[in-house]
């Protein structure tokens, strides 16, 4: 078995290495071509600067203001909730409605301000830009919705055909076979920010001498190097599911070398009021490892995942994702590689940046963060703190100030009957998390609770009721 897993590992390294090395070269070639037409290159940079300024202004000035309101009601919900208030507090309801309209106007104006960017890119690059943009969305949603939200985590239900389509879209991103991706990602959730994590940027052993280098290496590990280092979770050939499961169960992390962050201690050992250990780290590791093994055995037995993890089909789709833009749009292989670089770079950022920088509205036993920039680039996956709070939620941008295009797609699929049983947080969970965060987060403490407005009413009703049905 050891020889076959070693050769699997070498094969995997070769594949990963090949695709990691090529895209940056592709990027350089695209840059080289761009430099042949300096005015066009300069104009492209100007339009990109416009986009960055627009999004940057939103993140810097508007988003913090939106943090006053954890929940944005739909108009239907608003009219239902405000009905009983209308007679007694007409002014208040009008003010709240004006506020809701203002938010819609802002969304509309922001979308309108994006139009010149697309116009500019279209007039400079024509079909080349649209192929880049379209293929980015296909690969991106393939990963965020396919591999992640419906593949690894059962956050909503859809037909086998839809799942196969989403996994096929994910293949375009060049992030490996779906089964392998899902298994490794499950391990990240089971052992986040411990020595058994797949890609934690946390440095467990810091020597005084080389702290910067250790942190840099920790970051690089969580960014990309883990893909070379993390052993495969593929079922070895000739092993039955039962044998494989038994083999996996015997390989749980060694408690003697297992490390976690001091602040997550309550998650990794349970003590009573007297401070005596009631449940040991060893027991918890075994329990969580057994749960993780169940998850990956489930992935292994999933027929759609198995079908789409067939290397012939996977590489067929991958080759088609280069061949179709080449033949139909005249898009060079190098341009497609640049697109692949961009998608992968963004995914690498979710694993690394979103475990280092950003907001922590939810208390979780790891360092996951909601990062405003990655939220946009990774099509909603930057709401990573929310995702670690509950990996079952189909929406990662649950607060009124977040952006989650993947959730918009999932909800649109639900609207046309292609997705069902979405797992979503309740209004109570969101508002309660916001209230607690307000107390913990120094930046938020200046924000007054507004008991007289609709948010205040929501807060009051949340405190009065135990549970509310999903209100999204």
Residues in contact with Zn ion by the rule CB under 5 A: 368, 391
Please give the Cα distance from 333 to 58 (Å, whole number): 35
Contact 194, 258 (CB under 8 A): yes
> Which CB sits closer to Zn ion, 300 or 335?
300
Q: Considering the complex, what minimum distance in angstroms separates the CB of residue 317 from Zn ion?
A: 23
Q: Considering the complex, what minimum distance in angstroms separates the CB of residue 26 from Zn ion?
A: 28
> Which CB sits closer to Zn ion, 12 or 391?
391
Please give the Cα distance from 361 to 448 (Å, whole number): 17
Q: Considering the complex, what minimum distance in angstroms separates the CB of residue 11 from Zn ion?
A: 26
Tracing tokens 């909601």 back to the chain, one arrives at 370
Q: Is 270 helix (H, G, I), strand (E, B) or coil?
A: strand
Q: Is 54 helix (H, G, I), strand (E, B) or coil?
A: helix
Q: Considering the complex, what minimum distance in angstroms separates the CB of residue 188 from Zn ion?
A: 6
Please give the Cα distance from 222 to 100 (Å, whole number): 40
Nearest residue to 430 (alpha-carbon basis) of 60, 98, 59, 67: 67
> Which CB sits closer to Zn ion, 300 or 366?
366
> Which CB sits closer to Zn ion, 347 or 368?
368
Contacts of 60 (CB under 8 A, 6+ apart): none
Q: Considering the complex, what minimum distance in angstroms separates the CB of residue 397 from Zn ion?
A: 14
Q: Considering the complex, what minimum distance in angstroms separates the CB of residue 166 from Zn ion?
A: 15
Angle, helices 127-141 vs 160-171, to 10°: value is 120
> Which CB sits closer to Zn ion, 13 or 195?
195
> Which CB sits closer to Zn ion, 230 or 391?
391
**Would you state the structure tokens that stand for residue 84, as one six-digit string?**
């009983």
Q: Considering the complex, what minimum distance in angstroms separates the CB of residue 170 from Zn ion?
A: 14
**Would you state the structure tokens that stand for residue 412, as one six-digit string?**
């649109």
Report the chain's terminal Cα–Cα distance, integer Å: 50
> Which CB sits closer to Zn ion, 302 or 335?
302
Q: Considering the complex, what minimum distance in angstroms separates the CB of residue 64 from Zn ion?
A: 24
**Would you state the structure tokens that stand for residue 434, as one six-digit string?**
């916001």
How many beta carbons lie within 10 A of that of residue 140, not counting itself?
A: 26
Contact 340, 139 (CB under 8 A): yes
> Which CB sits closer to Zn ion, 96 or 354?
354
Which DSSP symbol is given to 230?
S
> Which CB sits closer to Zn ion, 391 or 404?
391
Name beta bridge partners: 132. Answer: none
> Which CB sits closer to Zn ion, 368 or 370?
368
Q: Considering the complex, what minimum distance in angstroms separates the CB of residue 77 from Zn ion?
A: 28
Q: Considering the complex, what minimum distance in angstroms separates the CB of residue 390 from Zn ion?
A: 10
Q: What is the CA radius of gyration of the chain?
A: 24
Angle, helices 333-352 vs 311-329, to 10°: value is 130
Phi, psi (rounded to 5 degrees) for 194: -130, 175
**Would you state the structure tokens that stand for residue 129, as one six-digit string?**
């830009």
Angle, helices 311-329 vs 127-141, to 10°: value is 160
């Amino acid at each position: 078995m050891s020889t076959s897993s070693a050769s699997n590992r070498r094969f995997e390294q070769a594949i990963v290495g090949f695709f990691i090395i090529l895209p940056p070269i592709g990027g350089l070639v695209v840059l080289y071509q761009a430099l042949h037409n300096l005015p066009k290159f300069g104009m492209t940079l100007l339009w990109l600067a416009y986009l960055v300024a627009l999004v940057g202004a939103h993140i810097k000035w508007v988003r913090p203001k939106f943090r006053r309101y954890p929940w944005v009601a739909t108009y239907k919900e608003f009219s239902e909730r405000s009905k009983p208030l209308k007679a007694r507090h007409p002014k208040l309801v009008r003010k709240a409605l004006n506020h809701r309209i203002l938010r819609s106007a802002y969304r509309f104006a922001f979308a309108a301000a994006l139009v010149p960017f697309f116009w500019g890119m279209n007039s400079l690059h024509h079909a080349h830009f649209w192929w880049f943009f379209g293929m980015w969305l296909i690969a991106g949603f393939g990963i965020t919705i396919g591999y992640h939200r419906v593949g690894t985590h059962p956050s909503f239900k859809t037909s086998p055909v839809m799942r196969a389509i989403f996994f096929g879209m994910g293949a375009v991103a060049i992030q490996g076979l779906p089964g392998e991706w899902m298994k490794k990602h499950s391990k990240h959730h089971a052992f986040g920010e411990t020595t058994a994590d797949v890609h934690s940027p946390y440095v467990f052993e810091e020597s005084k001498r080389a702290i910067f280098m250790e942190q840099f290496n920790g970051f690089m590990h969580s960014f990309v190097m883990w893909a070379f280092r993390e052993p495969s979770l593929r079922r070895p050939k000739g092993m039955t599911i039962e044998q494989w499961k038994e083999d996996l169960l015997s390989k749980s992390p060694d408690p003697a070398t297992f490390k976690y962050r001091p602040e997550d201690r309550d998650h990794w050992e349970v003590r009573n009021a007297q401070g005596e250990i009631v449940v040991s780290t060893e027991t918890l590791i075994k329990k969580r490892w057994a749960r993780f093994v169940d998850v990956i055995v489930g992935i292994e037995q999933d027929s759609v995942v198995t079908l789409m993890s067939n290397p012939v089909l996977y590489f067929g789709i991958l080759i088609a994702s280069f061949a179709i833009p080449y033949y139909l749009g005249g898009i060079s292989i190098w341009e497609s590689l640049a697109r692949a670089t961009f998608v992968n770079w963004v995914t690498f950022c979710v694993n690394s940046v979103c475990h280092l920088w950003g907001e922590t509205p939810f208390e979780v036993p790891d360092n996951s963060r909601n990062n405003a920039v990655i939220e946009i680039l990774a099509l909603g996956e930057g709401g990573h703190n929310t995702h670690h709070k509950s990996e079952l939620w189909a929406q990662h941008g649950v607060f009124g100030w977040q952006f989650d295009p993947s959730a918009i797609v999932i909800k649109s699929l639900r609207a046309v009957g292609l997705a069902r049983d979405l797992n979503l947080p309740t209004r109570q969970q969101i508002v309660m998390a916001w209230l607690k965060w307000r107390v913990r987060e120094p930046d938020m403490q200046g924000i007054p609770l507004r008991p007289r407005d609709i948010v205040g009413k929501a807060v009051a009703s949340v405190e009065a009721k135990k549970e509310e049905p999903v209100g999204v």
